[in-house]
Amino acid sequence: GIQVEQSPPDLILQEGANSTLRCNFSDSVNNLQWFHQNPWGQLINLFYIPSGTKQNGRLSATTVATERYSLLYISSSQTTDSGVYFCAVGAGGYQKVTFGTGTKLQVIP
């Protein structure tokens, strides 16, 4: 199956700082999502981005499918951005996805 690696595993930021989270995957994909798991455990959809670039407020994401990676950018971080960020990928005609082990982000005031 597809291998998914996320980096860094842990990240501490001062409020207002910018960051880039990376997701590498081992094979071609036609499904890639970024999620934020908040401190209460809820998984929140951030982006569905199998290729290209999307932006939503302070967050943006880019997937370069040919090079098998995706990046999540967080600008002007806020304490509410704290939590774990997951990348999930899938391939072929199937709906199954494989999750990375996540990047744990802590934003301190």
Partner 1 sequence: DAEITQSPRHKITETGRQVTLACHQTWNHNNMFWYRQDLGHGLRLIHYSYGVQDTNKGEVSDGYSVSRSNTEDLPLTLESAASSQTSVYFCASSEFPTVSYEQYFGPGTRLTVT
DSSP designation for 58: T
Q: Centre a 10 Å sphere on the Cβ of residue 105 and count the other Cβ atoms it contains.
A: 20
Judge whether 15 and 76 are in contact, CB under 8 Å.
Answer: no
Q: Which is nearer to partner 1, 56 or 95 (CB)?
A: 95
| Site membership for partner 1, residue 19 (CB under 8 A) | no
- Determine how β-strand 69-74 pairs with β-strand 31-37: unpaired
Per CB under 8 A, contacts with partner 1 among 59-98 are: 86, 88, 90, 95-98
The residue with tokens 């970024």 is: 34
Per CB under 8 A, contacts with partner 1 among 20-49 are: 30-31, 33, 35, 41-43, 45, 48
Name the residues that contact partner 1, by CB under 8 A. Answer: 1, 30-31, 33, 35, 41-43, 45, 48, 50, 86, 88, 90, 95-102
